[in-house]
């Protein structure tokens, strides 16, 4: 079903829209995604590039993938939020982070890649406490 996905960075300086459905939604545990996100993985939806509009001031960082392609990551130049990924292996597509979307209804992870690099702390143990919001807690004096 055709649907428009919209999103923005933390400071709202960068906004995007994308015509869905995405080609695939992938969770990636590679080292680059771990360092990029500051957490254990990224989750991104890949869209056809001609259906994506990005607005705002975007900084780019480029590196070589293990397969020899060039990967470009786009960030908001003000707040540093990741806003897109591009890979010369798929030149007609862009990947947008689900965490930046206003509403990702209907999207779910379809594939997990670099599962071998998944960190032990990126999964919850049995004794983890859950709070619906930020608890009223401070570090002990």
* Contact pick of 6, 37, 72, 78 for Zn ion (by CB under 5 A): 78
* Contact pick of 3, 4, 11, 103 for Zn ion (by CB under 5 A): 11
Could you tell me which residues come within 8 angstroms of residue 119 by beta carbon, excluding any fewer than 6 positions away? Answer: 29, 34, 40
Residues 99 and 8: beta-carbon distance below 8 Å = no
- Rule CB under 5 A: say whether 33 interacts with Zn ion: yes
Residues 89 and 72: beta-carbon distance below 8 Å = no
Residues 45 and 107: beta-carbon distance below 8 Å = yes
- Rule CB under 5 A: say whether 17 interacts with Zn ion: no
Nearer to Zn ion, 32 or 104 (CB): 32
Nearest Cα neighbor of 97 from 44, 61, 56 is 44
Nearer to Zn ion, 66 or 106 (CB): 66
- Rule CB under 5 A: say whether 45 interacts with Zn ion: no
Q: Smallest distance from the beta carbon of 74 to Zn ion, in angstroms?
A: 11
- Rule CB under 5 A: say whether 96 interacts with Zn ion: no
* Contact pick of 4, 53, 79, 112 for Zn ion (by CB under 5 A): 79
Nearer to Zn ion, 50 or 122 (CB): 122
What are the counts of helices (DSSP H) followed by strands (DSSP E) for the chain?
1, 10
Per rule CB under 5 A, count of chain residues that contact Zn ion: 9
* Site stretch for Zn ion (CB under 5 A), options 57-65, 75-83, 94-102, 119-127: 75-83
Residues forming contacts to Zn ion in the complex (CB under 5 A) are 9, 11, 13, 28, 30, 33, 76, 78-79
């Amino acid at each position: 079903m055709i649907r428009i996905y919209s999103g923005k960075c933390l400071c709202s300086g960068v906004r995007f829209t994308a015509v869905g459905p995405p080609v695939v939604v992938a969770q990636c545990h590679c080292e680059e995604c771990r360092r990029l996100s500051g957490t254990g993985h990224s989750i991104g939806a890949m869209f056809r590039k001609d259906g994506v509009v990005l607005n705002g001031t975007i900084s780019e960082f480029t590196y070589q993938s293990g397969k020899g392609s060039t990967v470009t990551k786009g960030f908001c130049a003000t707040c540093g939020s990741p806003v897109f990924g591009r890979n010369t292996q798929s030149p007609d597509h862009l990947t947008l982070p689900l965490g930046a979307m206003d509403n990702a209804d209907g999207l779910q992870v379809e594939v997990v890649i670099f599962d071998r690099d998944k960190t032990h702390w990126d999964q919850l143990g049995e004794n983890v406490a859950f709070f619906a919001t930020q608890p009223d807690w401070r570090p002990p004096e």
